[in-house]
Structure 1
């Protein structure tokens, strides 16, 4: 649980920290779209180089990104191995009984692994360099044209900001409850699958209880401060688009053009 860093913000003054959250969010969306053009070694190496340059510019220790990967290691391993052993085609590279590894399976496994790592690193970079409230403001600002269709844009931004804000808190609560249960003799790692699922119940019940209690306290605090929704509300944090934000988006589109030209 300690490896979960979603929603955590690392204060800094790097060029990525100073970018408008809207540009970083748009860059993330564009990155997700163009990453599927990387279907060979050259394009994937180009993406890894681009991400490592961004990590260097962020001045955030590499350990944060390793923790982000650790929290998803099971999904990455399962998907990669599925591609490796169940995709056939091309020359057989390795065979042992019913297990067969082919060139096509090896290539697809490498591509899927690279996509997972790149997406997790880029999304981790987004959350580590952007305050959750600023990210929610960016979502609300980008969705603002939908107000004409009666879409509750402000409420969507508010829910997003609360979700991102309390993810680390819930993870900390989970770790604290698990440590308390271990001190009482509960073992979460032994027994059959049914015993392991049963051992999770002592975690879920107090976790839900503390979550509802925190939500009720938050609602009371918002009402006490006169919160009545987004209509007519002013904004303390003003988003400001600069030339650096335009340059950041141009670099993403330039990367996409290079991938399109170099893809197989």
Structure 2
């Protein structure tokens, strides 16, 4: 059920994106996300979608793997589109079905929101698929380092964010195990009354939270046993190196964002 989820996964490789500095990838994703939220035209979204597709091609990630991993996201995107299309009453009325009236403004807004959500999840998934958790942690720490003078614990924030991303697939696997165990005992998550399905989900959430807390405790004990501390003086086995491809990617993303914000209306 959850074995193909792409969020939080890392696929080793030697593509252009794999060889990029993790800091550059974070910066480019940040610029891409800002551009997505600041534009609202079909031309801009088409250009951003083409850019995301080009990034996927040079990433070396299998299309089949990405398609299976994005399937749950497609369902969420479809639900988002239907929600806006059916309940937004703007523009010209098109058609009435089962008491719902589709308006041109609602359909357009639904498409905009759906495409925005799809591109955000897609580009962030490429980030985690092509960046190892260790490099991602080091990159976050270095990017947050200037804020340490204001009392921001850069190392702790980077470690927490990296652990959270890393444990998304693990928690999904735990969820699948609990679902199968509960279904083997007669629980039904798709049939029966609303009350029975709510009780079934309660039987899912309680052991899931218990396992999550147990994993967090085990991880904390393991880090303490290995002498981990977030203080100064720590050294890195692997140093991040900024290269020409990193500068090119950042400049291209920034220039594309400025162009679309100014001229893509």
- Report the secondary structure of 2:19's partner residue: coil
- Equivalent residues in 2 for 1:1-264, closer than 5 Å: 1-2=1-2, 3-96=4-97, 98-264=99-265
TM value normalised by structure 1: 0.91
Aligned in 2, Cα 1:231/1:253: closer, same or farther, shift over 3 Å?
same
Distance 1:190 1:109 in 2: 30
Question: After the TM superposition, which of the residue ranges 83-92 and 216-225 deviates more from structure 2?
Answer: 83-92
- Distance of 1:35 and 1:220 partners within structure 2: 41
Cα offset for 1:117? Answer: 1.4
Q: 1:210 to 1:252 in 2, by over 3 A?
A: same
Give the superposition deviation at 1:31.
Answer: 0.8
Residue segments in structure 2 that go unaligned for 5+ positions in a row: none
Unaligned runs of 5+ in 1: none
State the shift of 1:39 in Å: 2.4
Instruction: Describe the SS at the equivalent of 1:71.
Output: helix
If the length of structure 2 is used for normalisation, what is the TM-score?
0.91
2:206 is paired with a residue whose SS is helix
- Would the alpha carbon gap of residues 197 and 232 (structure 1) be closer, same or farther in structure 2, given more than 3 Å must change? same
Question: How many residues are paired up?
Answer: 264
Alpha-carbon separation, structure 1, partners of 2:229 and 2:117: 41
Q: Cα deviation per residue 1:107-135 (whole Å; 9 max; x = unaligned)? A: 22221121111111111111111112211
CA RMSD of aligned residues (A): 1.9
Q: Which moved more, 1:237-246 or 1:14-23?
A: 237-246
